[in-house]
Chain A
Amino acid sequence: EVQLLESGGGLVQPGGSLRLSCAASGFTLRNSAMSWVRLAPGKGLEWVSAIFGSGNTTYYIDSVKGRFTVSRDSSKNTLYLHMNSVRAEDTAVYYCAKSRYIYGYEFDYWGQGTLVTVSS
């Protein structure tokens, strides 16, 4: 059974850093593209970042480029989102999501989400 379990969220000050983790089970991370998607208060879903199965290709939305880094540890079958220089507008529930195929496509499994609050 595929499962995704996020952790690492919490309260962080503006300009601070945080690392989110997504532990995967029931499949191998390198066989799927993986994404981070966020849901800010009162807003809709927003795709944030992705890493493709090869691990060498990553993508980001413009608003987080240069501040966030997506990575994975194949030995732990875990996905990460390193968040630096966070801003108030980064406050959201962050979900990791698995694409159906190694090169992308729809998200067939999601984690339960982890809340990130950026505030002083």
Chain B
Amino acid sequence: DIQMTQSPSTLSASVGDRVTITCRASQTTDSRLAWYQQKPGKAPNLLISKASTLESGVPSRFSGSGSGTEFTLTITSLQPEDFATYYCQQYKNLWTFGQGTKVEIK
């Protein structure tokens, strides 16, 4: 099984801040890594696939990078609608999610 470790678990930030979330895999995922955003009471929404490919309709302030076992999600200039919980997910070997990172208002 591939285990995913996300950090931090909670992040306090202000509108306009640059935010970075890290995800580490217990073994290489060959860049089969996705990022999701989830707001309370809503279904998750796919933001990024293949570690760095932005989904259609996702604002360009979101970006993903990394390879092998280390990945990051970056939000440049945080907007009010970006306060949510973010999850990484590997899909090389079935599926595993990270524990989630809650981005809250500072």
Contact B91 A106 (CB under 8 A): yes
Q: Is A68 on the interface with B (CB-CB < 8 A)?
A: no
Count of chain A residues near B, Cβ 8 A:
22
The CA of A104 and the CA of B38, in the complex, are separated in Å by 21
- For B98, what are the chain A residues with a Cβ–Cβ distance below 8 Å? 44
Q: Are B38 and A45 in contact (CB under 8 A)?
A: yes
Q: Is A1 an interface residue (CB 8 A)?
A: no
In the complex formed, the residue of A with least CB distance to B100 is A44
Interface centre among B36, B42, B91 (most CB of A within 10 A): B91
Contacts of A106 in B (CB 8 A): 34, 46, 49, 89, 91
**Do B43 and A47 have beta carbons less than 8 Å apart?**
no
Q: How far is the CB of B46 from chain A (nearest CB, A)?
A: 6
B32: nearest chain-A partner, CB-CB: A105
- Chain A residue nearest to B50 in the complex (CB): A106
Q: How far apart sit A107 and B49, CA to CA, in the bound complex (Å)?
A: 9
Chain B residues bordering chain A, tally (CB within 8 A): 22
Q: Which residues of A contact B91 (CB under 8 A)?
A: 99, 104-106
Is B49 a contact of A100 with CB atoms below 8 Å? yes
With A105-B32, A106-B49 known as contacts, the answer to whether A50 contacts B94 (CB < 8 A) is: yes
Most buried by A among B44, B49, B87, B95: B95
Q: Is the CB of A107 within 8 A of B94?
A: no
SS of A interface (majority): strand
A73 at the interface (CB under 8 A from B): no
Q: Within 8 Å CB of A105, what residues of B?
A: 32, 49, 91
B73 to chain A, nearest CB (A): 14
Tell me whether A47 and B100 are in contact (CB under 8 A).
no
Given contacts A35-B95, A44-B97, A45-B87, contact A95 B46 (CB under 8 A): no
Tell me which residues across on chain A come within 8 A of B99, comparing CB atoms. 44
Chain A positions within 8 Å of B85 at CB level: 44
Known: A45-B44, A45-B87, A110-B43. A59 touches B49 (CB 8 A): no
17 A-B residue pairs with Cβ-Cβ distance under 8 Å, sorted by A, are: A44-B97, A44-B98, A44-B100, A45-B87, A47-B94, A50-B94, A104-B91, A105-B32, A105-B91, A106-B46, A107-B44, A107-B95, A108-B46, A110-B43, A110-B45, A112-B42, A113-B43
